[in-house]
Amino acid sequence: MKILVTGAAGLLGSAVAVRGAHGLSRGALDVTDTVAVERALAALQPDAVVFCAAIADVDRCAHDPLAEAVNVQAPIAMAQRVPTWLVSTNYVFDGPGPHHPGDPRRPVNTYGRQKARAEDGVLAAGGHVVRTGWLFGPGGRNFPSRLPELLAGGPVTALEDWPVQPTFVGDLAERLLELRPGVTHAIGRETTTWADFARAVAQRVGGTVLGVEALDLGPRPTDARLAPADLAGWSERLDDLLAPAG
């Protein structure tokens, strides 16, 4: 089976691509360009698409019109052409959690609302949805992935009292390639906080973590944990995050 993964330069897309999917980065395929998409599908003729392309900066989504095109319109258009697995987010929920696949969604920010609309459109086209969240892995540019670098630069501020299920990107990539049908959840089984996650990293690499109760961010769900949560727990994957490159 030939699987195409979009957004293949990102943390998740690259992890899917190295496991055998045909990866196209944003530079190779602008998913908002319908002509380019048609050409790519005609040339590659994939049996399935794992749609990882996204604008996942939650606060950027509130003001950047491109986010609607990438997060909503593009995956729906893809699903209308080829069997598509959309990587969605736990941010389609608010709280309390954990939330199961069939639970009512209640997104509290633009990013979550965009992903909810994308889910509806992809499912209507016969596609599938995999919800996840709080990814980390070597080379990632998000907060948990960059912790070794951030801690080397000085004290790191991290949230207390907000439940998260950090999910190792390699485990999620392998789950995605199983192409499970319908709406499924794929997330790490251990709950922690970002402050405690950061402290665990600091215990290994050094540095100081300052726990805080709030950060100056836009709306976030109060409890976006997912169930079932059956991927490896974050504590089992710290060695994979901290392993030297190469």
Question: Is the peptide bond between 65 and the residue preceding it cis, with omega within 30 degrees of 0?
Answer: no
Beta bridge partners of residue 183, listed in sequence order: 129
Residue with the two structure tokens 């954990």 = 98
Beta bridge partners of residue 86, listed in sequence order: 51, 129
Tokens of 75: 């995956």
- 91 has catalytic annotation: no
Beta strands in the chain (DSSP E): 3-6, 22-24, 48-51, 84-89, 128-132, 135-136, 156-159, 167-168, 183-185, 209-212
Domains and CATH numbers, the chain: 3-142+167-190+219-233 (3.40.50.720)
The active-site residue out of 51, 85, 93, 111 is 111
**3 state SS for 16-59:** HHCCCCEEECCCCCCCCCHHHHHHHHHHHCCCEEEECCCCCCCC
| Tens digits of residue pLDDT in 72-104 | 999 999 999 999 999 999 999 999 999 999 999
User: d(Cα 15, Cα 168) in Å, to the nearest integer?
Assistant: 10
> What pLDDT band is residue 244 in, cutting at 50, 70 and 90?
low
> What pLDDT band is residue 246 in, cutting at 50, 70 and 90?
very low
The answer to whether the beta carbons of residues 236 and 133 sit under 8 Å apart is: no
* pTM assigned to the model: 0.96
Flag whether pLDDT at 148 surpasses 70.
Answer: yes
User: d(Cα 119, Cα 87) in Å, to the nearest integer?
Assistant: 9
Q: Return the pLDDT at 218.
A: 86
Tokens of 24: 């196209």
Q: What is the DSSP letter of 82?
A: S
User: d(Cα 246, Cα 243) in Å, to the nearest integer?
Assistant: 9
Distance from first CA to last CA of the chain, Å, rounded? 29
| Tens digits of residue pLDDT in 23-67 | 999 999 999 999 999 999 999 999 999 999 999 999 999 999 999
| Tens digits of residue pLDDT in 165-221 | 999 999 999 999 999 999 999 999 999 999 999 999 999 999 999 999 888 788 999
User: d(Cα 61, Cα 114) in Å, to the nearest integer?
Assistant: 9
